[in-house]
Structure 1
Amino acid sequence: MMRMPVSVTCLPHGPDGTSRGFDPNSPRYQALGPSSISSSNPDTALDLSREQQARLVLRERYLRSLLSMGGREVHFALYDKVHVAALFGASDIDILNFQVSNLQTPLGVQKEALLRCPDIISYSFEL
């Protein structure tokens, strides 16, 4: 059996033509990079701490809602004004897909399905 060579994908060159990645002088890099967070300024550090705390609370609430949805009927609002309902089963580790059962769609019932999270506008369920 002859082995086939596989090409290696290389990262594209950066803006200066020799480096790989973002130009450290670009507005995007400065806005997203660690240098944009100045720990020497106490007001900035305090704002960052508040923002991180708020994100922590929101993330924890979201994960708790996923745990609470297990085995319950969940109503999903999708794009193009489509509304469906299903029994929630699970989410993948990246929370990109929801596995549902008995998906009630305008065209009928699907026994098992995967809903892509980017297609979902909102969801609701009763506790």
Structure 2
Amino acid sequence: MKTPVSVLRLPRGPEPNSRGFDPNSPRYIALCPTTIPASSGNKAGSVTLEEEQRVRSELRERFLRTLLAMTSKPVHFSLYEKVQVQAKFGASDIDILNFQVSDLQTPLGVQKEALLRCQDMISFSFQL
């Protein structure tokens, strides 16, 4: 007889129908579609929604091109606590929360394959 598996019940979301995020949570604010307050109006010198979206789009495209250019190249990562590591860049997950690297050179030795969390990084650099 096979062992039964229990069902994991996740907690409900902030809304009654269990959808969406708490508008005051850091995740919701980070994923908010715009940083322009709704009450700003069209004052002289203010940024329009379309202009902000255009700039965000350009910055996103530049970053994605950077990730593409880094593939299979040695990359230097600066991490918190003054840790410096080098590795050959492989890929990123879709949310760009983790980098997959090969031959990670750490102060303790070399790791053949590894995942680096982006939240642990201060910066990264590579030669073009």
With the length of structure 2 as denominator, give the TM-score of the two structures.
0.71
Identity fraction in percent: 52
* 2:48 match: secondary structure: helix
1:72 maps to a residue whose letter is K
How far apart, CA to CA, are the structure 2 residues paired with 1:65 and 1:55? 15
Runs of 4+ in 1 over 4 A off after TM superposition: 1-5, 18-23, 41-46
* 1:88 match: secondary structure: strand
User: Which digits, 9 at most, give the CA deviation of each residue in 1:81-115, with x for residues without a partner?
Assistant: 11111000111122111111111111111111110
Structure 1 segments unaligned to the other structure (5+ residues):
none
| RMSD (CA atoms) | 3.5
Shift of residue 7, structure 1, vs aligned partner? 5.8
| Richer in helix (by share) | 1
Number of aligned positions between the proteins: 117
Residues 1:12 and 1:52: Cα distance change in structure 2 (over 3 Å) = closer
- CA radius of gyration, larger in: 1
Shift of residue 6, structure 1, vs aligned partner? 2.9
With the length of structure 1 as denominator, give the TM-score of the two structures.
0.71
Structure 2 segments unaligned to the other structure (5+ residues):
none
| Corresponding position of 1:51 | 52
User: Which digits, 9 at most, give the CA deviation of each residue in 1:26-76, with x for residues without a partner?
Assistant: 8xx9xx699x647xx555996111111110010000000000000000000
| Corresponding position of 2:122 | 121
